[in-house]
Chain A
Amino acid sequence: MKGIITVVGCDRVGIIAQVCSHLAAQQVNILDISQTIVQDFFNMLMIVQLPPAAAFEQLAGDLAQLGQSMGMDIKLQREDIFQAMHRV
């Protein structure tokens, strides 16, 4: 299953490193990353492949918690919702 991770918050050193090492530990494979900074505001999107037996709720909860500890907003969603809305 593919997921979209969005990370939003104030920019600082090591955001990508922290998020990526967390994902690696969870066996989540990163397929694509795009990242921008708008007026010191960090905005990252990742397209990821979730491991086949992943417990979605656990993964999403852990990421949200990681976000909280970093002072960022981190969200994991299934990719299908974006496909449904933007692709005919």
Chain B
Amino acid sequence: MINQHEINETNQMISEAKLDVRTITMGISLLDCATDSLPRFCEKVYDKITRSAEHLVRVGDDIALEYGVPIVNKRISVTPVAQAAASLCCDEDGFVEIARTLDRAAQAVGVNFIGGFSALVQKGSTASDLALQHAIPRALAETQRVCGSVNLGSTRAGINMNAVARMGRMIKQAAEIDINACAKLVVFCNAVEDNPFMAGAFHGAGERDLVINVGVSGPGVVKRALEEVRGADFETVCETVKRTAFKITRVGQLVAQEAAARLNVPFGIIDLSLAPTPAVGDSIAEIFEELGLEKAGAPGTTAALAMLNDNVKKGGIMASSYVGGLSGAFIPVSEDHAMIEAVQAGALTLEKLEAMTCVCSVGLDMVAVPGDTSAATIAGIIADEMAIGMINHKTTAVRIIPAVGKQVGDVIDFGGLLGRAPVMPVNQFSCENFIARGGRVPPPVHSFRN
């Protein structure tokens, strides 16, 4: 029988160390909504989403109440819209209209984000992909809850440099209309089809009609556990992280199975990413400090992150057979108070963040750069991140915010979970002629595994 110590430990994780289930995300295929009429397509999409996710929020709230563990977000991911809407042959305006429909559907069922305003163009863009990419700035600026993503490269296909250059321009355009649009837009290399976390969630073509994916978190729990082994060697540290990740993931697994059963939708995966929030005690950078680094970004940070990421996975994989999504550690600057402090103290630079992305999930996430940063420079930053993903067989991403009218040292505030981002300095040397070349970077030799 469960004993007092175990009950207290679990409840302390929840109440003091901010253990939560970060998101229950319902994946919904829109492939069966295909038609050649835009109004009819929007109607079918709205109906399918509101019908499928009608009880999602209620079920999430019920489970949170019964188990006493917060379920912070209830969200939806859909088939990449450029694929689902390909038969419409619509233009930019058409895609903006589809984004508005997604926004209305999300609002109707009460979810805070809907992901999948996306295109997968790692090898090339269809007409539909192109129209969607051009629609992204307006679509994300004119909606509240819609998140967009574009996959620009993969280990198998290489990097679509035309799309990299284009997305550099689109990110600039989006920032000029509404800076929040950039916070809802991410570009990927090796994007995954079952990621429940925003802004990059979409429901891949290889998925079934409906699926429940769950993202668990808990940097605060890991930090609290590490406080108990202060000064111990790395073996002890790794063992502690593994044990903690195991416990966190088991809670996620329970919630995922319960949600799947109650919604009568198959369970997909658990994503066991350590994802910070702006709250004190819910931070990845605080873990670095606990490990003995004065600030995130100090020499040793990449090693600390590699170790943390690997042991989170080792613990989590033992706890659930279906670990998927991005699973690792997120390092979004604006959403982690100690990362913000590290940037402001001069300890953490864009270049160090780039190195860190080699060993953890995702990449340059929620980083603000001066508003006068050129589209080509943004494309160059994206290309570097895509190259890291392509060569290392891993997912990498860029969610970058050109802070219009702001300079290094200023801060932009997004509010809520997205936090506030200090504007970071960018290397001032030009990559204009490199980006202007266009074409596709071929896949690396080690992608030929057959």
CA distance A85 to B2 in the complex (A): 10
CA distance A55 to B278 in the complex (A): 35
Q: Are A81 and B10 in contact (CB under 8 A)?
A: yes
Residue from A56, A80, A85 in contact with B65 in the complex, judged by beta carbons closer than 8 Å: A56
Q: Are B67 and A80 in contact (CB under 8 A)?
A: yes
What residues of A have a CB within 8 angstroms of the CB of B251 in the complex?
Answer: 81, 84-85
Q: Are B7 and A78 in contact (CB under 8 A)?
A: no
By secondary structure, the B interface counts as helix
Residue from A32, A80, A86 in contact with B6 in the complex, judged by beta carbons closer than 8 Å: A86
CA distance A17 to B77 in the complex (A): 50
Name, among B8, B11, B253, the residue most crowded by chain A CB atoms within 10 Å (CB to CB). B11
What residues of A have a CB within 8 angstroms of the CB of B10 in the complex?
Answer: 81-82, 85-86
A28 interface residue (CB < 8 Å to B):
no
Residue from B2, B62, B65, B66 in contact with A82 in the complex, judged by beta carbons closer than 8 Å: B2
What residues of A have a CB within 8 angstroms of the CB of B11 in the complex?
Answer: 6, 75
Interface residue range, chain B: 20 to 34
B250 interface residue (CB < 8 Å to A):
yes
Q: Are A80 and B254 in contact (CB under 8 A)?
A: yes
Q: Which A residues from 65 to 88 make CB contacts under 8 A with B?
A: 75-87
A4 interface residue (CB < 8 Å to B):
yes
B1 interface residue (CB < 8 Å to A):
yes
A60 interface residue (CB < 8 Å to B):
yes
Pairs A–B under 8 Å by Cβ, sample size 20: A6-B11, A34-B4, A36-B4, A47-B2, A57-B65, A77-B67, A77-B68, A80-B67, A81-B10, A81-B67, A81-B69, A81-B251, A82-B6, A82-B10, A83-B2, A84-B250, A84-B253, A85-B10, A86-B2, A86-B9
Give me the interface of B with A, judged by CB distance under 8 Å.
Answer: 1-2, 4, 6-11, 62, 65-69, 247, 250-251, 253-254
10 additional contacts, CB 8 Å, given A84-B250, A84-B254?
A: A43-B8, A47-B1, A60-B66, A75-B11, A80-B254, A81-B67, A81-B68, A82-B6, A86-B9, A86-B247
